[in-house]
Amino acid sequence: MKTRILHTRIWQDNFICQLTHKEKLSFIYLLTNDRVSLTGMYELPDKYIKNDLDLTQPEWNAIKEKLQKSGKFCFLDGWVKIVNHDKYNSYKNGKSGIAYEKELTVLPAKLIEYRRGMDTSMDTSMDTRSIPTINHKSEIINKKSETNKKEFIDSLRISPEFKDMNIDKELIKFKDYLAASGKKYKDYKAAFRNWLRNSGNFIPYKKKELPKGDNARMLEHLNQNAT
């Protein structure tokens, strides 16, 4: 059985205090229903909500719009996003962390983009001005991160050690492995280099079979310089 924890001070919250009875019920329901997931993003079509809360479609539309404009929830094609879910819940370690990352892989792209602060068009039928956008500082950090990633991948492409490997293809395989296994690393760059070294397409220089004679000595010299 799933459990949900609510702070008792919720009833003194300024936003909750000004809600009507049906709006309060809807707010609590969206936080505690059995569809709520580890990510705070879950699928729950309007028909189920109306049935559980005994609301008409116009009533639910008005409540949904109010909750959306307040920045508490977002709604997209039958999906619900609890905006502050990650603020009050942390699933980064152990089995919960693995389950959290697994849930992210099956969510609609727009929900993932919004979670990263990149999407301001969650529901075009509502006023999206209330949805926060990415700030300038985060934009700079993201751009810097992408630049560093590109420079790292480019350095692998021109490295003599990995010159015969399809770096882009191996990167996709490495990402799939991380998603499937839930593995975490302190240094992902070092982990990816080890991944390339252990790939079936890669044969380390020192393990190559050398021809006999003068050619062997020359190739051995080249290998030593390459490593």
Burial class (CB in 10 A: 0-12, 13-18, 19+), 161: middle
Residues 6+ apart with CB under 8 A from 68: 74, 75, 122, 123, 126, 127, 130, 131
**185 vs 145, higher pLDDT:** 185
Residue 112, pLDDT > 70, answer no
Q: What is the pLDDT of residues 38-92, one digit of tens each?
A: 888 889 999 999 999 999 999 999 999 999 999 999 898 888 988 887 776 666 6
For residue 32, the surrounding DSSP H or E stretch is helix 21-32
* CA–CA distance, 120 with 133 (Å, rounded to integer): 6
Placement of tokens 């459990």 in the chain: 3
The pLDDT value recorded for residue 144 is 59
Instruction: Please report which confidence band the pLDDT of residue 126 belongs to, taking 50, 70 and 90 as the band edges.
Output: very low
What is this structure's pTM?
0.48
Domains assigned to the chain: 8-130 (1.10.10.10), 136-226 (no CATH)
The average confidence (pLDDT) of the chain is: 75
Determine the Cα–Cα distance for residues 49 and 8; give it in Å rounded to an integer: 24
% of the chain at pLDDT higher than 90: 21
pLDDT for res 66: 95
Closest CA to 28 of 51, 45, 52: 52
Does residue 123 have a pLDDT over 60? no
